Amino acid sequence: MSKLPLRELYLDELRDLYDAENRLVKALPKLAKEAESQKLSAGIEEHLEQTKGHVDRLREIFDAMDEKPGGKRCAAMVGLIQEGDEMMDEDFEPGVKDAALISAAQRVEHYEIAAYGCVRTWAGLLGEKEAENLLQQTLDEEKETDRKLTALSQEINVVAVSGAAAGKSAMQDEDEAEVPRPRAKSRSARA
Ligand code: FE
Ligand code: FE
């Protein structure tokens, strides 16, 4: 059997991503519905629209290479989505469910960031300039999403740790720029 060149690995990983992105298009609406924070729900909805664009970019790359995008199952995305579903079945305190959602979403983003970084680099090495450019755009969007999730987690984790009562005010003050902080220990406690 002849050995496979880089182009075959590149195509294989693109197909893996194509399957992963399509699974996300199906999974994200449910996650957006599950979110308690309006900001988080809106953020997931926004990423759903971006994700449809990621599918389109991959299709464009396959078209240009005269190849078909289907035929591969991304086992990692199947597992990541399943873990997210399992988390959503738990009965969490206010804020904790959103913390869980962010943690599931960031696992997905990090998988995609790793995968897009690789295929982007291979596209460059294979002289696929247009594909390299398209893959870089998607990579940038995945990284930006990850950064936004981290920023949001700084608000939501505070809600999660301080429980339902503190949660209400922190979750409703969506326009409040100041991130609520956990109460500092009293002087007497420190003394
Ligand atoms: Fe994506
Ligand atoms: Fe995969």
Write down the residue that tokens 């199952």 correspond to: 73
Q: How far is the CA of 53 from the centre of ligand 1 (A)?
A: 8
Q: How far is the CA of 103 from the centre of ligand 2 (A)?
A: 19
Q: How far is the CA of 182 from the centre of ligand 1 (A)?
A: 33
Q: How far is the CA of 55 from the centre of ligand 1 (A)?
A: 8
- Residue 114 is predicted with a pLDDT of 98
Distance CA 37, CA 31 (A): 12
Q: What is the pLDDT along the chain (191 residues), one digit of tens a residue?
A: 789 999 999 999 999 999 999 999 999 999 999 999 999 999 999 999 999 999 999 999 999 999 999 999 999 999 999 999 999 999 998 799 999 999 999 999 999 999 999 999 999 999 999 999 999 999 999 999 999 999 999 999 888 888 655 444 444 444 444 444 444 444 444 43
| Mean pLDDT computed over every residue of the chain | 88
Going 128 to 132 to 133 to 134, the CA torsion angle's sign is positive
Query: Residue 24: nearest ligand to its CA?
Result: 1
Q: How far is the CA of 17 from the centre of ligand 2 (A)?
A: 6
Q: How far is the CA of 185 from the centre of ligand 1 (A)?
A: 42
Q: How far is the CA of 20 from the centre of ligand 2 (A)?
A: 6
- Residue 10 is predicted with a pLDDT of 98
Distance CA 126, CA 13 (A): 14
Q: How far is the CA of 45 from the centre of ligand 1 (A)?
A: 13
Tokens of 137: 């755009």
Among left, alpha and beta (phi > 0; psi -120 to 50; other), residue 127 is left
Query: Residue 13: nearest ligand to its CA?
Result: 2
Q: How far is the CA of 112 from the centre of ligand 1 (A)?
A: 6
Write down the residue that tokens 């007497």 correspond to: 188
- Residues 6+ positions from 174 with CB-CB distance below 8 Å: 38, 39
- Residue 189 is predicted with a pLDDT of 41
